[in-house]
Amino acid sequence: MNTVAEGSRAKQADVIGRETPRIDGPLKVSGKALYTSDFHFPGMLYAVPVCSTIANGRIEALDTSAAQAMPGVRLVLHQGNIGKLYRVQGAKVDEGRPPFHDDVIRYYGQYVAAVVADTFEHATAAAAAVKVRYKEDKPSVDTRLSADTPPKVGSERGQAQSAFDAAAVKVDQTYVTPVETHNPIELHATVAVWDGESYTLYETSQAVDNHKSVMVQSLGTTPDKVRVITHYLGSGFGGKLWPWPHCMVAAVAARQLGQPVKLVVTRQMMFQNVGHRPITQQRMRLGATADGKLVSLQQDYVTQTSILDDYEEDCAEATPHMYSTPNLRVTAALCRRHMGTPTAMRGPGAVPGLFALESAMDELALALHMDPVQLRLKNEPDHDEGNGLPFSSRHLTESIQRGAEKFGWSRRTPGIGSMRRDGKILGWGMACCSWLGARQPTHARVELRADGSAHVACGTQDIGTGTYTIMAQLVGAETGIPLDRIEVALGDTNLPPGPVSGGSTVTSSVIPAVLQATRAAVKSMLQTACEGDATAFAGRKPEDLAFSHGQVHLKDQPAESGRSYTQILAGADLRAVAGEGSETAGNFGDDPLKRKYSINSYGVHFAEVEWQPEIARLRVSRVVTVIDAGRILNPRAARNQIEGAVVMGVGMALFEHTAYDPRTGKPVNSNLADYIVASNADTPDIDVTFLDYPDPVLNELGARGVGEIGLAGTAAAITNAIYHATGIRVRELPAMIEDLMQA
C-alpha cells in the first residue's frame, strides 16, 4: 500500500461499519429531493400513450382525427409519423422492438400511439378518443408452461439421472412461481428536453450510462448530444434497469415539437409495458442416501418470455454451488406467451430458483425423517462444485447455526400442527439463501475544496439503497471530513461513468474507485503542502506528512499539530485539489476474479407462521435472518435492505401474482387494490444479524452487496413453515387460503 493509504484502516474504523443515517434523508422527507416526474420546465407538454385493447392480432385502422381536434392537443404520434427509430446493439434493452415499429400486437397494452397536449388531462382525454380497429386472434396467456425452445443444458457434473434412479430416498416435484409485477412507489417516467441540437433526459433509471447508450442508438444521434439524469429514484427492484418504449416516445415528441415533454406511465401500464418477473415452472429431482447425503440434484425449468424477445430467468443461479453433490444437471427452456417482455426483478433467477430448491430440500428432509437444518449442514460443500473454484468467503454453516440458536429451533417439534401458542397453531420453517458477489467498471472523482468541503462524483445511481451515504462514508473515512461537509453527485451521464444499480454490486464497485480517487486527492494535497517557501511544511517531502481529521500534519505528530487543508489551499491560491480513481476489472461474468474464486453471499431465514383454521387466518409472525455478506459498511442501511426484502418475501409467499384474462390477455388485477402486496399489518417481527466477515478478494474493504439476498429463500422458509403448521405443501405461489382450508 502506498504512503497515503498507510493507516487508512485505522481511520476507516471511525466511519466504516458505523450506524449512519442517510445523508439524503432530510432532502427526501422535506420534499426537496427531485424525482423524475417532479421536474417542470417552461412550455412543458404532457404525453399519454394509447394502449392496445387486445393481446394478439393486428391494427387494421388507426383514426386520430377526433383526438387531434380536441383542446390542447399538439401531436398524436403513431407508426406513420414517429420517424425512424433504430434497434439497439451492445447496450441493454429488454423490449427490442422500437415503439410503433409495425402493426402487429403481441401483448395487451402495447403502445399503438401517443397523444401530446398542453395538460395531462387534455392528453388523457384525447388518448381515449383515438379509435383503433383490430384484427384479433386468441392470445396465449396460460400460466402452465410448455417449452417452445429446446432445453439448454446449463451446469452439469457426474451422471445425475442414473444416480437419482439408484438413490435410496427421492423427491420429484414441480414448483411454480407466477408473474410478479414491480410496484415501486415511483412510476416509470421520462421528462425529455430538446434544445434544437441535444437531448437532456430526466429518467427513472437504474443505469444512466446504459440508458444513454440505448437512446443514442435508438434516436440515431451521437453521444455528445444525449445527457441522462436520475438524481433520485423511488426504487425500481430491477424494473428500471433498462429503457422501455415510453422513453423513446417522449424524446421523439420533444424533438418534433421543440418543447419539453413529460410522460409518466400509469399504474395500470406498470402491469403491461415495463416488465415483470416471469412465470417459472421448475421440476426438481433430489436423490439422497438413507442418512441424508445428496447423490443427485436435477433442476429442469421453463420460464415465460414474450413473443419477440428472449428473456431467461436464470433459476439455477445458485443451484450448482449451494450444496455438495457429485451428480447435478440443470436444463432451461423458454415458453412464449402474449405478455410483455419480462425483466429482472429483485434477485432475478436466484429468488424463484431457491424457492424451488429450498422447498425440495424441505421435502427431502421430511422423506428422510431428518431435521431440515441437519440436512443442509450435512451437505455443506468445501468448494464450489459447479466450477471447481474455491469460495472467496463462505460462512453458511455458521449462519445456519447462529440463526437456529436465535430462533430457538431446538424447541421445534416435527409433527404437523404440533406446536401451539395462545390458541394458534405454529409452523416453523427455514431455508438458505445465496446471491452473487460481483463488481463492475467504475470511475470516480474526488475534490478537496478550499471552503472545507469535499465533493465526490460518480455516474452511478442511488435507487433508495443508501449509495449517497456509502460514498460519503468512503471519503470521510480517508480524510476525516465530516459527512455533512461531503457533497455526493450521482445519477448523471456527465459524471465519471459508474456501475449499473443492479445485482447488489454498486458498493463493491465504488469502493476501489472512490478510495483511489480520495487518496489521489490527498496525495495532491500533501504535495501542495510542501511547495512554496511560505508553507508550514517547506523543505518537507509528501511522504513525511499525513492527512487526518481534515488536517495536514507530520506523520509522527498528532493531527491538531498541523494545518487545516483549507489553510493549505488558501496559501497556494487554489480552489481545490482533485483525484481520480477507477475499478476496471469488473463487469459481472467477465471479471477475472470469477476465474479464480467463487464469490457469493450466503444466509438463512427462519420463519414462524400462525395458523387459525377456525377463521382461516394465516400470518407470518416472526422471521430471523442471518446474512454472510462480507463487511457491512453501514449496518443501519444494510439492515433496512434485508428487512424490506423479508417483507417483499412475505408478499411473494402469500399475496403477489398478476392474473391474466385468458380471453383478452389483459392483466385483470392491474392496480394496487387487487394486486396485493405486503403492508405494515402483514410485517412480521424481523431479527437481522450480519456475520460481518470481510471478503478481501472482492475489494479492499471486503464488502459485498445486501440488496437482493434478503428476498432469496424467504418464500420457501414461509411455505415450509406453512407445511409444518397445516400439512399442506405449497408448490405454487402464492399460498391460497382456499388450499390451506383443506388442512
Q: Is the pLDDT of residue 7 over 60?
A: no
User: Can you tell me the mean pLDDT for 318-328?
Assistant: 98
User: Can you tell me the mean pLDDT for 508-522?
Assistant: 97
The secondary structure of 49-61, three-state, reads: EEECCCCCEEEEE
C-alpha triplet 736, 742, 743: angle, nearest 5° = 100
For residues 13 and 631, what is the distance between their CA atoms, to the nearest angstrom? 12
For residues 609 and 723, what is the distance between their CA atoms, to the nearest angstrom? 10
Which residues are tagged catalytic? 708
For residues 636 and 556, what is the distance between their CA atoms, to the nearest angstrom? 35
49: β partners: 114
What mean pLDDT is reported for the chain? 95
Q: What is the predicted pLDDT for the residue at 535?
A: 72
Q: In this structure, what C-alpha cell is assigned to residue 237?
A: 427492484
Q: Please, which residues have CB within 8 angstroms of residue 343's CB and are 6 or more apart in sequence?
A: 94, 238, 239, 241, 242, 274, 275, 276, 311
pTM of the model: 0.96
CB 130 within 8 A of CB 62: yes
User: Can you tell me the mean pLDDT for 273-288?
Assistant: 98
For the chain, first and last CA: distance in Å?
Answer: 63
Q: Is the pLDDT of residue 661 over 50?
A: yes
CB 211 within 8 A of CB 203: yes
Residue bearing cell 443444458: 153
C-alpha triplet 148, 149, 152: angle, nearest 5° = 145
Split at pLDDT 50, 70, 90, the class of 679 is very high
Q: Is the pLDDT of residue 74 over 50?
A: yes
Q: Is the pLDDT of residue 295 over 60?
A: yes
CA distances, 213 to each of 82, 88, 219, 263, 612 (Å): 20, 9, 10, 20, 54
335: β partners: 304
| Secondary-structure percent of the chain, ordered helix, strand, coil, rounded to 5 | 30, 25, 45
Lowest mean pLDDT among 13-22, 375-384, 397-406, 518-527: 13-22
User: Can you tell me the mean pLDDT for 611-618?
Assistant: 96
For residues 234 and 252, what is the distance between their CA atoms, to the nearest angstrom? 25
CB 85 within 8 A of CB 128: no
Q: What is the predicted pLDDT for the residue at 594?
A: 81
Cβ count near 47 (within 10 Å): 27
For residues 356 and 351, what is the distance between their CA atoms, to the nearest angstrom? 9
CB 363 within 8 A of CB 165: no
C-alpha triplet 633, 467, 641: angle, nearest 5° = 65
229: β partners: 202, 492
Residue bearing cell 421445534: 412
CB 349 within 8 A of CB 282: no
pLDDT digits (tens, 9 = 90+) for 334-355: 999 999 999 999 999 999 999 9
pLDDT digits (tens, 9 = 90+) for 553-592: 999 999 999 999 999 999 999 999 999 999 887 666 677 8
Burial class (CB in 10 A: 0-12, 13-18, 19+), 540: middle
Burial class (CB in 10 A: 0-12, 13-18, 19+), 266: middle
Q: Is the pLDDT of residue 3 over 50?
A: no
CB 707 within 8 A of CB 641: yes
Split at pLDDT 50, 70, 90, the class of 742 is confident
For residues 637 and 579, what is the distance between their CA atoms, to the nearest angstrom? 28
Split at pLDDT 50, 70, 90, the class of 2 is very low
SS3 category, 350: helix
SS3 category, 23: coil
DSSP, res 630: B
CA distances, 461 to each of 27, 207, 233, 339, 507 (Å): 16, 7, 8, 29, 11
Q: In this structure, what C-alpha cell is assigned to residue 187?
A: 412510476
Number of H helices, E strands in the chain: 18, 27
pLDDT digits (tens, 9 = 90+) for 622-658: 999 999 999 999 999 999 999 999 999 999 999 999 9
CB 350 within 8 A of CB 317: yes
Split at pLDDT 50, 70, 90, the class of 125 is very high
Q: Please, which residues have CB within 8 angstroms of residue 544's CB and are 6 or more apart in sequence?
A: 537, 554, 555
Among 435, 394, 353, 426, which residue's Cα sits nearest to residue 361?
Answer: 353
Q: Please, which residues have CB within 8 angstroms of residue 417's CB and are 6 or more apart in sequence?
A: 425, 611, 725, 726, 727, 743
User: Can you tell me the mean pLDDT for 140-144?
Assistant: 97
CB 625 within 8 A of CB 403: yes
Q: What is the predicted pLDDT for the residue at 538?
A: 84
Q: What is the predicted pLDDT for the residue at 1?
A: 38
Q: What is the predicted pLDDT for the residue at 591?
A: 77
Over pLDDT 90: what percentage of the chain?
Answer: 94
C-alpha triplet 370, 372, 377: angle, nearest 5° = 100
Among 218, 179, 212, which residue's Cα sits nearest to residue 85?
Answer: 218
Q: What is the predicted pLDDT for the residue at 6?
A: 46
Q: What is the predicted pLDDT for the residue at 740?
A: 92
Q: Please, which residues have CB within 8 angstroms of residue 692's CB and are 6 or more apart in sequence?
A: 17, 631, 632
User: Can the peptide bond before residue 49 be classed as cis, meaning omega within 30 degrees of 0?
Assistant: no
Among 410, 417, 405, which residue's Cα sits nearest to residue 371?
Answer: 410
